[in-house]
Amino acid sequence: MTRKQSFRGDERAIEGLPIRLVIALVVGVASLAIMMQLLGGIGTVGQTEVKLETQDDGIASVTDSSGNDQPVTYTVEVTDTEGKSVDGESTLIISGGSVELTSGTETRTISGSQTIEIEHDKIDFRSDQVKGTLKVTIEPPGDSNYVDEETQELMVTK
């Protein structure tokens, strides 16, 4: 038969409690450090990189076949890494690359597949330059899980 003991008379609990708390804290911190190290290489969950898809490989000319100046025209679409179109409006920030823009930057808001134009007089080629690139940064829709971490380029020729 077992005998009932009251907690008032049991002094073991109070003596072992501080060391048990220290052991639990050390084990918990060590476990947390291991989990954080394992999760550190995964990256941000839920974010998808976007890219700019263009027709004609992103190459446009400032002159037509007869040598007359014309706007630079690109048909572009913002897609995810799987090639699916990004829903909502994305903003394209176009700036000078190896050719300069006289305005500094051009901003276009697009949704789906759209044609964008840049006037020929806004593109500044060097005197010895026949072709160059424009840098494009994409600002995906604000309420989405898309990010743009890579600057992309559009090719411009005379």
Task: Write the pLDDT tens digit of every residue in 86-119.
Answer: 888 999 999 989 999 988 898 999 888 888 888 8
pLDDT at 135: 92
pLDDT at 26: 96
Residues with Cβ within 8 Å of 14's Cβ and at least 6 positions away in sequence, in order, are none
Give per-residue burial for 29-40: e unless 16+ CB within 10 Å, then b.
Answer: eeeeeeeeeeee
Task: Look at residue 14 and give its three-state secondary structure.
Answer: helix
Give the span between the Cα atoms of 36 and 52, in whole angstroms: 34
Give the span between the Cα atoms of 27 and 40, in whole angstroms: 20
Say yes or no to pLDDT of 136 above 80. Answer: yes
Determine if the pTM surpasses 0.75: no
pLDDT at 1: 57
pLDDT at 112: 84
Q: Measured at the alpha carbon of residue 22, what is the angle toward residues 19 and 23, in degrees to the nearest 5? A: 85
